[in-house]
Structure formats: C-alpha cells, structure tokens
Amino acid sequence: MTSAQRLTLLMCAAEALGMAGFALFAALLPDFQALWGLSNTQAGWIGGGFFLGYMVAVPILTGLTDKYDARLIYLAAMLLTAVANACFVFADGFYSALAWRVLAGIGLAGTYMPGLRALSERIEGPAQTRAVAFYTASFGLGTALSFILAGELAKLAGWQLPTLLSGVCALLAWAMVYWGLPPKAVVQHASRKLLDLAPLKSRAVVAYCLAYAMHNLELFALRAWVVAFVVFSGQLQGSDPWLSGTSVGMLVTLIGMPASVFGNELALRFGRQRWLIAVMLSSAALAVFIGLSAALPFWLMLVLVLLYSIAVTADSSSLTAGLIAVAPASHRGAAMALYSCTGFSGAFLGPLLFGISLDMLGDKSLLGWWAAFALMGLLLLIGPLALWWAGRAQPNSAQLQRAQTL
C-alpha cells in the first residue's frame, strides 16, 4: 500500500467514525417527535440546527488552515464532537436538543473540510483527486453507519446507547489521526484577514459554492426526513414496511458512496461542468415524483428512493474536486471555508423548509410530502444555472494569471 493510499484510508475511516452521531436525530425522528411533542417545524430546526452550527463556525475554522496545520484544527474539533455527541444524552426537549446539535455541527465544521485539506496537502499528482473523491464519499458512509447504529442500538437499550457510543467513536477517530497523520508545515502566504472574501472575485468559485448549497439542501432534506417518509408510507397503506425506516435510511446514504466516487470518474471522462449540470437536472426531475411514491407498493417506492439517492449524490465528489481545482492555492483554505459555509447553509435550510412544508400542507397527506420533495427539486435548479453562468465566462490567460495572484 502506497503512502497516499494509507493516508486516504486513515482519513476516510476517521471521518466515518467521527460521524457516528451524525444521523442520530434523523434516524429516530418519529420517536423524538412523540417523546418531546415536537412539531415538524421544530423537528426541522433540530435537524437543520446541526448544519447551522457548521455554517457559523466553518468560515473561521477552515480559514485557519491557511495559517495553521489543518491537522491541529481537526484534532481540537474532533474532541468537541465527542463531547457534543455524548452529551446529547442530557437532551430533554426542543431547546436542549437544538443546543447540543448545534455544538456537534461546530465540531463537524472543524473536521470535515480541515480533514480534507490535511489529506489533500499530503498527496500530490493524480492520486490527489481520487483521494478527494473517496474522502468526500466517505461522508455518505459515515452517515449510513450512523443511521444503522442509531436504529439498531436504540432497539436494544433506547436512544441513549447510540448517543454515548457515538462519543466513543469520535474519540477513536481522534486517536487514529493523532498517531497516524504526520504534522506538516504550513506554506506562509501574505497576511490577510481571518474572514477572507477574496475568493468571491472568482466567478467559478462562486458558482461551485451556489451549486454545493443547493446540492446539500436536497441531500440533507432527504437524509433528515427519509425515515419519517417510510413511516408515512406504511401508515398510508395500512401495513408495516418489510424494511424498517432506519434500514432504508442506511441504504439511501450507503449507496451514495459508490455513486459519488463513480460520478467523479464520469466527470473526468465527460467534463465536470457538463456532468454536474446533467446530474442536477436529473435529480430535480426525480424530486417531483418521489413524494408520490409513498402510495406505490413498498418495493417500487424503495427502488425509486434509491435511484433518487444516486442522482442526489452523484455530483458530490465532482463539486468538491471542482472547487479545489479552481481555487487559487494561496487562498484555498478561504475558498474551502466559503464553499462549506454556503454549502451547509443549504444543509441547514433543507430539513427546515421540508418540515415547514409538511406543517403547512399536512404530514398525513400525500400532497404534503409531494410538495416538500418537489420544493427541494425546484430550489436545486439554482445549481446548474450557476454552473452554466460560470461556464459562459471562459477566462483568458491574463485573467488566469490575475486569479493566481489574488
């Protein structure tokens, strides 16, 4: 095994372990709603609150990787993740649950993108883009494991058991990176403000940020509400599905990993912009019909949901690899911070807007679920429009030179 492969495997495994508590609330959403008397809007706030914490913290924590070794940021944030995951056991209602999820989101802000930078800076050449693809795809693996961890362990000893275990998994991820990832000196660039907005001068960077925001809006709305959707489908048809909601959630997220990696390979073959626009348009089209699939036989609904999940995740790695490719090296941390901040603003809004739609039109009606999914597809169209807008301006050599000296 080469050094690049070893580092990629290490960071992917640590990422998956650190995300053990990621889907705890989504996987057990119907249980928490019954336990604490939550409305769909309140459930959307808690589900999106995780990404609110991420969105607020990521510009600072990822931006710091331009000044300090990303490994240090990662290690400190993983400890915070362990505390926030384990302490969710003390949640007893809307406000306490929201607070702990926001804190866990701050922990992810210091691990996901800083971890990506720590990995990409230690690998050069063609292996770098594939390392980025596997690392990005491992986000889906971590989410899938989190769904099954929460769903199965909660059956044994209640939701407190997977909550505490997710804190232990984060500590294990910390130990793996502390001993397995060597420190690396940071290349010093000209001093600048902590919140650096220079990447906004690049139309390509802005387009990738907008596309990532809409991608996350759709992706995390699906992951936050898929378990509740399966429960609704069973109630609508008057029978229990032969596959539990948490198992469907696990499959929906697990299938995203090969879809993301394979999608990046297709983007390299057919052109990144062309691939991204095609995938996002396909995903938007599917979103219009997914809500209605609750009335179909369960096996057919499951097939459609899995196909939808493939379309939703097939652009994930390509978006992140594209951002890294267009960002100037001297401002890569700032560009990644902007990318994550805008991207996870979408992750925050997706579950929340989905919940608001259900409260407005009814979570017991097929119309409510159709409208919630269709709204996600409609908003997703902003992504391909942004990429098309960026593609219209092909920079000449002089513009490229100025971009490299930002």
Number of domains in the chain: 1
Go through 169-188 and write b for each residue having 16 or more CB atoms within 10 A of its CB, e for each that does not.
Answer: bbbebbebbeeebeeeeeee
* DSSP-assigned letter for residue 183: -
Is position 135 within any domain? yes
Q: How far is 13 from 142, CA to CA, in rounded Å?
A: 9
- For residue 193, tell me if it sits in a domain: no
Q: Which of 114-123, 358-367, 391-400 has the lowest mean pLDDT?
A: 391-400
b vs e for 28-46, b when ≥16 Cβ sit within 10 Å of the residue's Cβ? bbebbbeebebebbbbbbb
Q: Of all residues in the chain, what percent carry a pLDDT higher than 90? A: 53
Give the alpha-carbon dihedral of 214, 217, 219, 224, to 10 degrees.
180
Query: Has residue 106 been placed in a domain?
Result: yes
Q: What is the CATH number of the domain that holds 215?
A: 1.20.1250.20
Is 7 a domain residue? yes
Burial of 275-293, coded b for 16+ CB within 10 Å and e otherwise, reads bbbbbbbbbbebbeebbbb
Which residue segment(s) compose the domain that 78 sits in? Answer: 3-181+198-404
Q: Residues 21, 26, 27, CA angle at the centre, nearest 5°?
A: 80
Confidence of residue 398 (pLDDT cuts 50, 70, 90): very low
* Mean pLDDT in residue range 65-82: 93
Q: Return the exposure string of 100-109: e unless at least 16 CB atoms fall within 10 Å of the residue's CB, then b.
A: bbbbbbbbbb
Q: Is residue 191 part of a domain?
A: no
Inside any domain, residue 241: yes
Least confident of 92-96, 260-264, 375-379, 381-385: 260-264
Q: Answer whether 147's CB lies under 8 Å from 23's CB.
A: yes
Q: What is the pLDDT of residues 41-69, one digit of tens each?
A: 999 999 889 989 988 898 888 878 878 89
Q: Look at residue 319 and tell me if it is in a domain.
A: yes
What is the three-state SS of 42-81?
HHHHHHHHHHHHHHHHHHHHHHHHHCCCHHHHHHHHHHHH
In a domain, 113, yes or no: yes
Please tell me whether the overall predicted TM-score, pTM, comes out greater than 0.85 for this model.
no
